Amino acid sequence: MKKAMIAMSGGVDSSAAAYLMKEEGYQCVGVTMKLFDGGERAPGQKTCCSLEDVEDARSAAYRLGMPYYVFNYKEAFEQKVIKKFADSYVCGKTPNPCIDCNRYLKFDALLSRAGVLGMDCLATGHYARIVFDRERGRYLLKKGMDETKDQSYVLFRLTQEQLSKIRFPLGNYRKSQIREIARSQGFENADKEESQDICFVPGGDYASFIERYTGKSFPEGDFITIDGKILGKHRGIIRYTEGQRRGLGISSAEPLYVCGRRPESNQVVVGPEEALLTRTVYLEDVNLISAEEIGKPIRCGVKIRYRQPEQWAVAEPLGKEGLKITFDVPQRAPAPGQAAVLYDGDTVIGGGSICLEGRR
């Protein structure tokens, strides 16, 4: 009998994934990664990784007759995700820690642990699909059938070796079907709300977290216009991100938006909304899935945000691990550090991080 390690977050999706893998005939072991000392979830917070989540995962595993373990990955999470998040913000980038958690923890450290323990695969509750294309000789990552829940955007860093050892049993289901499965199995988390906040920044107050984590204060600096005119003082560069309008505290005849940040001079650049629009972004640290390389310009759909529909663009190779993306329609406020993911229909071509070369 094949063996599967099930990554269980305590949510309904990973619990249902465990049930579906058992139904496929796998001998399953449930595991939860202990990533940080999150303690109890405060009322109104929708984060993962709390003590309540661990107990929900344990309860689901017990109902399914599965062994269940909690693995300590706090040190790796602190170095690979939390520290990178804080350092990126201080440098004027807008990182996505969920992508880094998938990259360094779930599909690196945990997948390696699965191999050491003799598991044939690692299964998670992501809404995405993996298909082996015999003609190309490659594993393909595809959108989940429920496009309202599709998570392929945050999975674009998966490698061919990883894809060969991963299962996404929810990929062909809709969320409503998954909740019904959970109810039918008596899971206590069948109607549990989804996590929304970054797990280690409950409430979404990034600036306060970064100040506590780094032990640094971030001084006031100048708000400047695109042409260099000083308009006032900002409250610390980590409190702003591209596209932001609210909370600037600047008097102006027209609405002003954050168009860029300059950590080297401690300046926040502001301008009218049209100044946020750009047709071109540059990508670094590119990972390709559906092909080994992009040898010439290709036409494809591109997302620069998780919930954004793909936008038509041309992707042009720029040497090793670099791409230039030119959109048909100007895009609003692409920020350094954000992920841009390329699609061919429902298939992920690959993606990378928006880099400073495309910055204002």
Please write the tens of the pLDDT for every residue from 128-179: 999 999 999 999 999 999 999 999 999 999 999 999 999 999 999 999 999 9
Residue 52 lies in a domain: yes
Number of folded domains in the chain? 3
Do residues 158 and 286 both lie within one domain? no
The one-letter amino acid code at 80 reads K
Query: Could you tell me what percent of the chain has a pLDDT over 70?
Result: 95
> Is residue 59 domain-shared with residue 144, that is, in the same domain?
yes
Question: pTM for this one?
Answer: 0.92
What is d(CA 236, CA 259) in angstroms, rounded to the nearest whole number?
16
Q: Is the pLDDT of residue 43 over 50?
A: no
Does 251 show up as a binding residue in the annotation?
no
Q: Is residue 1 part of an annotated ligand binding site?
A: no
Q: Do residues 118 and 28 share a domain?
A: yes
Whether residue 66 is annotated as binding a ligand: the answer is no
From the candidates 28, 101, 121, 355, which is the catalytic residue? 101
Query: Would you say 125 is a known binding-site residue?
Result: yes
Q: Does the residue 202 lie in any domain?
A: no
Final residue of a domain: which of 184, 209, 235? 184
- Please indicate if the annotation marks 21 as binding a ligand: no
Same domain assignment for residues 110 and 146: yes
With cut-offs at 50, 70 and 90, classify the pLDDT of residue 358. Answer: very low
Q: Buried b / exposed e across 152-169, counting CB within 10 Å, b at 16+?
A: bbbbbbbeeebbebbbbb
What's the token pair of residue 212? 């506590």
Q: What is the CATH number of the domain that holds 300?
A: 2.40.30.10
* Residue 13: inside a domain: yes
Which two tokens mark 356?
């400073």
**Which pLDDT does position 196 carry in this prediction?**
66
* Structure confidence at residue 82 (pLDDT): 96
Do 124 and 223 have their domain in common?
no
| pLDDT recorded at residue 204 | 83
Instruction: Let me know if residue 207 belongs to a domain.
Output: no
Distance, first Cα to last Cα, the chain: 56
Domain shared by 256 and 167, yes or no: no
The pLDDT value given to residue 253: 85
11 is in an annotated binding site: yes
| Within-domain flag for 206 | no
Q: Are residues 11 and 74 in the same domain?
A: yes
Task: From residue 46, give the alpha-carbon distance in Å to each of 58, 123, 197, 200.
Answer: 19, 23, 6, 11
The 3-state secondary structure of the chain reads CCEEEEECCCCHHHHHHHHHHHHCCCEEEEEEEECCCCCCCCCCCCCCCCHHHHHHHHHHHHHCCCCEEEEECHHHHHHHHHHHHHHHHHCCCCCCHHHHHHHHHHHHHHHHHHHHCCCCEEECCCCEEEEEECCCCEEEEEECCCCCCCCHHHHCCCCHHHHCCEECCCCCCCHHHHHHHHHHCCCCCCCCCCCCCCCCCCCCCHHHHHHHHHCCCCCCEEEEECCCCEEEEECCHHHCCCCCCCCCCCCCCCCCEEEEEECCCCEEEEECHHHHEEEEEEEEEEEECCCCCCCCCEEEEEECCCCCCCEEEEEEECCCCCEEEEEEEEEECCCCCCEEEEEECCEEEEEEEECHHHCC
Range of the domain at 246: 219-271
User: Which CATH number does the domain housing residue 238 bear?
Assistant: 2.30.30.280
pLDDT number for residue 194: 80
Question: 210 in a domain, yes or no?
Answer: no
Dihedral, 304, 307, 310, 315 alpha carbons, nearest 10: 20
Residues 29 and 77 occupy one common structural domain = yes
Residue with tokens 């303690």: 39
Q: Which of 208, 236, 271 is the last residue of a domain?
A: 271
Examine the domain organization and report whether 145 and 247 are in the same domain: no
28 among known catalytic residues: no
Q: Is 355 a residue of the active site?
A: no
- Residues 196-218 have a mean pLDDT of 88
Q: Average pLDDT, whole number, for the chain?
A: 92
Same domain, 46 and 171: yes
Asked if residue 212 belongs to a domain, the reply is no
Domain boundary among 124, 158, 184: 184
In a domain, 138, yes or no: yes
Any binding-site annotation on 59?
Answer: no
Longest dimension (CA), the chain: 70
163 and 312 both lie in a single domain? no
pLDDT of amino acid 42: 46
Residue 251 burial by Cβ neighbours in a 10 Å radius (0-12, 13-18, 19+): exposed
Q: Are residues 303 and 254 in the same domain?
A: no
CB count in 10 Å sphere of residue 149: 19
Which residue of the set 48, 49, 98, 199 is catalytic? 199
Residue 8 known to bind ligand: yes
